[in-house]
Amino acid sequence: MRNFEYYTPTRIIFGKDTHYQIGDLLKQGNYKKVLIHYGSGSIVRSGLLKEITDSLDTAGVSYVTLGGVVPNPRLSKVYEGIRLCREEQVDFILAAGGGSVIDSSKAIGYGAANPWTDVWNFFLKKKTPTDCLPIGVILTIAASGSEMSSSAVITNEDGWLKRGCVKTDLCRPKFAILNPRLTYTLPQYQTESGCVDILMHTMERYFVNLETMEVTDSISESLMQTVIYNARILMNEPGNYNARAEIMWAGSLSHNGLTGCGTGGGDWACHQLEHELGGQYDVTHGAGLSALWGSWARYVYKENPERFAQFATNVFHIPCGLDFEKTALQGIQAMEDFFRSIQMPTSLHQLGLDLTDSQIHDLAFRCSFEDTRTIGVFMQLNMKDMEKIYHMANADHTND
Ligand code: NZQ
Ligand code: ZN
């Protein structure tokens, strides 16, 4: 196993009605001006924005608001937020929404606190931020894990590049309020895409080609089983509080570093491949991962069939004989069957894309940073490998 450091400073406030504490929480922090940052209107329609502003008014906390964050959040909105923070002397950002809103908040926090450079340089990994405005979260969708993570992903409309920021602990939220009831209004597609993203945050760390820790493996396998079980429940019972709660907590645990302890940080090839789909074709992140994972898995599993066989047995209870490759393939099939059972795509066609060879080439070219980097550790993938995986995903293998 690898040495590791585990740091997860975010205070979690979990459960029914917890968001009503927001005014008092911010008052205790003695913040002078809060930016309430949100998306394209779901929190206006649900009444959450009014509940937040009422709570801040009652506590006597000043604020400004900035909505309009879209999925695959844009750099132009980040610039708008940075300007607003400067004009209004904002000293705290409250992200009320999902991963897109949280990531936009983190980018604004970096930009406002580092006026010496353009914030996009942190996403091009040319510069490293030295500070960030403090961030708090009221989460409305269980998916990205950004409420506890050290990362942020932003899309630059100039070239449609979707890139992850340099990872630092500076942007980890000070607190995250997780009220599962706030997720009841989600469309089913978003709920289930979120479940795939949560699974993938564990699987990216689980599928590494090195000796891991038994305790970390057990936590990961249990998280995966919990998400699979409750994602199925939510297909028929979107108002099931316990299932929403299990998914929400699993979402945070899957991306706060816990499942990477001893595994050397993870593989992350599927995420890299998917970010190009998000940047170019604006697909929903979890659905994009679902469309790619099976193709990635079939391309790489022979590097370490035992690991995939362990996954098949411990997550899907598939008996394992001596033929690890056969069990590995059964495990991959089982995960794809699960994706289909929650109406998630297992090919790019099902994701609504029909890509030409040249479009696929372009995705691989971008993902490999113009053929200058490899991705993944389970198997290191160069540009040609990436192209092959996109091609496999482009072929509909629903009836495999
Ligand atoms: O914008 P609004 O109107 O709020 O609508 C959103 C959006 O359309 C809607 N929604 C959210 N909560 C809702 C709701 N609709 C009704 N009721 C609610 N309670 O859902 C849609 C998706 O929201 P979004 O924030 O985009 O979803 P998610 O949390 O899946 O975030 C995805 C983004 O996070 C990034 C992804 O790349 C993607 O850009 N990620 C960030 C990570 C991180 N910072 O650590 C890690 C992840 O791997 C991921 O890459
Ligand atoms: Zn993700």
Please state the atom number of ligand 1 nearest to the C-alpha of residue 152: 44
pLDDT at residue 1, rounded to an integer? 81
The alpha carbon of 400 and the centre of ligand 1 are apart by a number of angstroms equal to: 31
d(CA 329, CA 335): 10
Buried b (16+ CB within 10 A) or exposed e, 374-392: bbbbbbebebebbbebbbb
Q: Is the pLDDT score of 66 beyond 80?
A: yes
pLDDT at residue 2, rounded to an integer? 86
The alpha carbon of 71 and the centre of ligand 1 are apart by a number of angstroms equal to: 6
Share of the chain above pLDDT 90, in %: 96
- Which residue minimizes the CA distance to atom 15 of ligand 1? 186
pLDDT at residue 322, rounded to an integer? 87
Phi, psi angles (nearest 5°) of residue 154: -130, 150
pLDDT at residue 358, rounded to an integer? 97
- pLDDT tens, position by position, 76-99: 999 999 999 999 999 999 999 999
- Which residue minimizes the CA distance to atom 16 of ligand 1? 186
Is beta strand 153-156 parallel, antiparallel or unpaired with respect to 11-14? Answer: unpaired
Please state the atom number of ligand 1 nearest to the C-alpha of residue 69: 1
- Which residue minimizes the CA distance to atom 43 of ligand 1? 146
As given in the structure block, the two tokens for residue 94 are 């409250």
How many other CB atoms are found less than 10 A from the CB of residue 400? 12
Mean pLDDT of 380-397: 93
The alpha carbon of 57 and the centre of ligand 2 are apart by a number of angstroms equal to: 35
Share of the chain above pLDDT 70, in %: 99
pLDDT at residue 265, rounded to an integer? 86
Q: Is the pLDDT score of 398 beyond 60?
A: no
Question: To test ligand 1's pocket by mutation, which of 103, 167, 254 has the most ligand atoms within 8 angstroms of CB?
Answer: 103
Confidence of residue 21 (pLDDT cuts 50, 70, 90): very high
- pLDDT tens, position by position, 135-166: 999 999 999 999 999 999 999 999 999 999 99
pLDDT at residue 396, rounded to an integer? 66
CB-defined site of ligand 1, < 6 Å? 39-43, 71-73, 97-101, 103, 140-141, 143-146, 149, 151-153, 182-183, 185-186, 190, 194, 197, 255, 271, 278, 285-286
d(CA 71, CA 33): 26
| Averaged pLDDT score across all residues of the chain | 96
Phi, psi angles (nearest 5°) of residue 158: -80, 90
Mean pLDDT of 29-50: 97
* DSSP-assigned states of every residue in 50-117: HHHHHHHHHHT--EEEE----SS-BHHHHHHHHHHHHHHT--EEEEEESHHHHHHHHHHHHHHH-TTS
pLDDT at residue 180, rounded to an integer? 98
Please state the atom number of ligand 1 nearest to the C-alpha of residue 274: 37
pLDDT at residue 321, rounded to an integer? 83
The alpha carbon of 250 and the centre of ligand 2 are apart by a number of angstroms equal to: 13
Please state the atom number of ligand 1 nearest to the C-alpha of residue 155: 39
- Nearest ligand for residue 143 CA: 1
pLDDT at residue 397, rounded to an integer? 58
Question: To test ligand 1's pocket by mutation, which of 141, 148, 170 has the most ligand atoms within 8 angstroms of CB?
Answer: 141
pLDDT at residue 249, rounded to an integer? 98
- pLDDT tens, position by position, 248-290: 999 999 999 999 999 988 999 999 999 999 999 999 999 999 9
Q: Is the pLDDT score of 238 beyond 80?
A: yes
The alpha carbon of 141 and the centre of ligand 1 are apart by a number of angstroms equal to: 7
The alpha carbon of 318 and the centre of ligand 2 are apart by a number of angstroms equal to: 26
d(CA 227, CA 248): 9
Mean pLDDT of 313-337: 96
- Which residue minimizes the CA distance to atom 40 of ligand 1? 144
The alpha carbon of 144 and the centre of ligand 2 are apart by a number of angstroms equal to: 5
d(CA 300, CA 357): 22
- pLDDT tens, position by position, 113-129: 999 999 999 999 999 99
